Chain A
Amino acid sequence: MASITADSSVNNPISSGRAVARQLSDRAIMNLFIWPTLVLLIAFNFFPLFYSLFLSFTNYRATGNTAPVWIGIENYATILTDPSLWEAFTTTGRYVLFSVALQTVVGFGLAMLIRGKFRGSGLVTTLILVPMMLSPVVVGLFWKMMYNPNFGYFNYLVGMGESGQLDMLASRFGNQAIQGIALASVILVDVWMWSPFVMLLVLSGLNAIPDYLYEAAAIDRASSWFQFWHITLPQVMPLLLIAVLFRTIEALKSFDLVMGLTGGGPGNQTELIAVYLYRVAFLGQFRSGYSSALAYIILIIVIAISNLYIRNLNKIKGEG
C-alpha cells in the first residue's frame, strides 16, 4: 500500500500532494465564505420565525409580565372571523390591484415613449427613475404637503384649488365624506413612485428585441398594431411579469408610504394589512401572540407570491 502511494506521488507530483491540498482548502474556503452569511440569516430570520410560530399559539402580550400560555388555534380563529381584519385585507387587495395595474400601464407607456433614443434621453430616463430610489416615508411626507387642502399644490394642479374644498387625505369634499379618495391618493403616490420601476424593466426588454423582427414585419406590411401585439408584447412579457410580481409583493408589504402619508386614516380607510399589524403588535396592547398569528397568515401569502417571482427570475436568467 505504502509503496503504491509513494509511486504515484513520484510519477505525478502535481496532482497528488498539491491538488489534494487545494481541494481541501477549496472546501474550507467555501465554508469560510458562506457560513457567516448563512448563520446571520438563520439567526435573524429562521429563528425569530420559529419563535413567533410558537407565540402565535399563545396569548402572550409583550407589555404583560405573565409567561405565554398555550391557547391552541384560538388566535387564528379570532383573526379569521374578525370583520375589521377582513376590512384591512379588502383595503390591501384593492390597493394592490389598482396600484400594480396602474403602474404596469403607466410604466409600459413610459417605456414605449422613451424607447427611441434622442439627444439627452439618457438624462431624462434617469430623472424619471429618481422617485423609486427615494425613501418611501419621505415621499409620503412631501406628498402629504402636496395634498394639503390649504397650501398644497395638488389641488391647484388639478384645478380644485380656489374652492379649497377637496381634502384628498381626509377623503372629503367640502362637508361631504367620500369613501375611497384617501385610498386613491395613496395609490396615486405609489404609482408615481413605482411606475419608473416597471418602465426600467420593460425598457430593458424592449431594447433586447432584435431589429430584424420588426424589419420582417415591415416587409410583410404588418400594421403597427399587429407588430405591437405579435412582436413587442410577447417579447417583453417575461420582464413585465417579473415587474408585476415584484410590485405585487412590495405593495402587499406596503408600510412606509402609508405611514408617511396617512398613518392608516382617516378612520381605517387606508389601513393596509401591514399598518394594521403594526398597530396590534406595537401600539396600545402589544398583543404579541395575536399579531404573530396574523403575521404568519401574511407571511404565507407573501411566500407564495415570492416563490412565483423567484421562479420567473430564474427562468429569465437561464435565457439571458
Chain B
Amino acid sequence: MASFAETGPRRPVVESIRVDKVSPGARTTGAVRAMVVVIVALIMLIPIFVMLATAFKSRPDVSASPPKVFFQPTLEGFLYLFTDRAIIAPGRMAEFQAKADAGAMGFLERLAFDTGQEITGPSAYVGRLTNSLIVAGVSTALSVLLGTLAGYAFSRFNMPGKDDLLFFILSTRMLPAVVVTIPLFLMYRQMGLYDTHLGLILLYTVFNLSFAVWLMKGFFDEIPREYEEAALVDGYSRIQTFLKIVLPQSVSGIAATTVFCLIFAWNEYAFALMMTSERARTAPPSIPSMLGRGGIEWSAIAAGSLLFLIPVVIITFALRKYLLRGVTFGAIRQ
C-alpha cells in the first residue's frame, strides 16, 4: 500500500480547488498555451517590426530584393520626412566638403551631405504635423469639456425622452464620414470654413462629442450620489458640488476620455482629406502622398508612420484598463 506522502500532492494546493487545473497535464497544457499566445502575438506584430525597420533603412536597403533583415541603420528616412533637399551641384561640392571637414555642419545637414544633398528648407510635412497637433489638441479639449458637462447632466438629472436623446447622440457617431461630408463641404465652402483650422476643429469636436458624452456618463454613473447629496445638505450649491466633489472623483475618467479623443482626432483621415487642401491639412492624409524624386519614398513614409504610431502605442499601454470601455462607448465596464 502506498502511503499518502507518495501519492498525494507534494506541495499544498493553493492555486485552485479544481482538479483539472492542478493536474500535471493541465500544467503543461497551460505552459504550451502561454507559448502559443506569445508566438501568435509576435506574428501579429510583424508588420509593426517591419515598419520600425524600414524607418531606419537607407534608400537602397528599402528596395532591396529579397528584403534585408539585417542592415546598417540610418536616420535618412527622418531626414526625407522633415526636410526638402536638393542635389549639390558638382561645382559646389568642395565648399560643402570644407564645411564638413571643419565640423561646422549640423546633424541633419551632415546626413544630407553624406547622400550628396543639401537641405533647402523644412518639408511640407512639418506644417502638416503642426496642424495635426493644433486640431487634435483643441478639438479634444472642447469635446471633453462639453462631454463632461453633458455626461454629468445625463447621469444625474431626469428629463423627458432621455433615452432617445442619448440614442440620438450615439447615432451621430455611426454616420459614415463621407455621407455627412457632402453637405458639410458645401456649407463650409459657403461660410469660408473650408480648409481652415477652425472648420476642422469644429468637425472633430462634434465627431468626438458623442463618444465623450457616453463615456463620461458611464464614469459619472459609477460615482455614488450620496456624496453629492451630503454636500447639498451641507449647503453647497449644485455647481459647487459638481466642481468640488464630483470632478475630483472623475479625474481618471476624464483623463481616459481625453486620451481616447486625442487618438481618434490624431488618427482621423476622411474628414481631413475632404475638408482641407493645403493650409489646414493634417498629417494622415499627407503621409500617402509623400513622393520623392525616385518614386515613393518608403523610408520617409515608414518614418512618418512610426512617429504617428509611437504615441498611440504608449497610450494603448497607459489606457489598457479602460480600453474595453472606450471601444464600447462606456457601455461595458468589465
Main DSSP-derived SS at the B contact region: helix
Q: Are B44 and A52 in contact (CB under 8 A)?
A: no
Complex Cα gap A246–B326 (Å): 13
Q: A residues within 8 A CB of B232?
A: 22
A54's nearest neighbour on chain B, judged by CB, is: B183
Q: Are B172 and A138 in contact (CB under 8 A)?
A: no
Q: In the complex, what's the smallest C-beta–C-beta distance from B141 to chain A, in angstroms?
A: 14
Q: Given A26-B157, A133-B263, A138-B308, decide whether A156 and B18 contact each other with a Cβ distance below 8 A.
A: no
Q: Are A48 and B324 in contact (CB under 8 A)?
A: no
Q: Within the complex, which residue of B209, B238, B269, B317 is in contact with A37, where a contact is CB–CB below 8 Å?
A: B209
Q: Which of B63-71, B108-116, B250-258 contacts A (4 or more CB under 8 A)?
A: B63-71
Q: Within the complex, which residue of B64, B149, B209, B312 is in contact with A151, where a contact is CB–CB below 8 Å?
A: B64
Complex Cα gap A141–B286 (Å): 11
Q: Given A41-B206, A49-B180, decide whether A131 and B44 contact each other with a Cβ distance below 8 A.
A: yes
Name the interface size band of chain A.
Answer: 35 or more
Q: Are B182 and A295 in contact (CB under 8 A)?
A: yes
Q: In the complex, what's the smallest C-beta–C-beta distance from B49 to chain A, in angstroms?
A: 9
Q: Given A137-B269, A138-B287, decide whether A306 and B177 contact each other with a Cβ distance below 8 A.
A: no
Complex Cα gap A211–B16 (Å): 11
Q: Are A44 and B203 in contact (CB under 8 A)?
A: yes
A252's nearest neighbour on chain B, judged by CB, is: B176
B1 within 8 A of A: no
Q: Given A124-B37, A146-B50, A281-B178, decide whether A218 and B20 contact each other with a Cβ distance below 8 A.
A: yes
Q: Are A192 and B47 in contact (CB under 8 A)?
A: yes
| Contact string against B for A residues 28-57, beta-carbon threshold 8 Å, 1 for contact and 0 otherwise | 011011101110110111001101100100
Complex Cα gap A135–B288 (Å): 12
B105 within 8 A of A: no
Q: Within the complex, which residue of A22, A62, A124 is in contact with B185, where a contact is CB–CB below 8 Å?
A: A62
Q: Are B36 and A113 in contact (CB under 8 A)?
A: yes
Complex Cα gap A37–B144 (Å): 11
Complex Cα gap A214–B20 (Å): 10
Q: In the complex, what's the smallest C-beta–C-beta distance from A94 to chain B, in angstroms?
A: 18
Q: Are B302 and A197 in contact (CB under 8 A)?
A: no
| Contact string against B for A residues 123-136, beta-carbon threshold 8 Å, 1 for contact and 0 otherwise | 01111111111111
Q: Are A141 and B44 in contact (CB under 8 A)?
A: no
Q: Given A29-B238, A51-B186, decide whether A40 and B159 contact each other with a Cβ distance below 8 A.
A: no
Q: Are A45 and B305 in contact (CB under 8 A)?
A: no
B323 within 8 A of A: yes
Q: Given A114-B37, A156-B66, decide whether A299 and B179 contact each other with a Cβ distance below 8 A.
A: yes
Q: B residues within 8 A CB of A135?
A: 266-269, 284, 308, 312
Chain A interfacial positions (CB closer than 8 Å to B): 22, 25-26, 29-30, 32-34, 36-38, 40-41, 43-45, 48-49, 51-52, 55, 62, 110, 113-114, 116, 118-122, 124-139, 141-143, 145-146, 150-153, 156-157, 161-162, 164, 192, 196-197, 200-201, 204, 207, 211, 214-215, 218, 239, 242, 246, 249, 252-253, 255-256, 259-260, 274, 277-278, 281-282, 288, 291-292, 295-296, 298-299, 302-303, 306-307, 309-310, 313-314, 316-317, 320
What are 7 inter-chain pairs, A to B, with CB distance below 8 A? A135-B268, A143-B47, A201-B324, A282-B274, A292-B183, A310-B171, A317-B331
Q: Give the top 6 A-B pairs by smallest Cβ distance, nearest first.
A: A135-B267, A48-B183, A33-B153, A52-B183, A33-B149, A306-B174
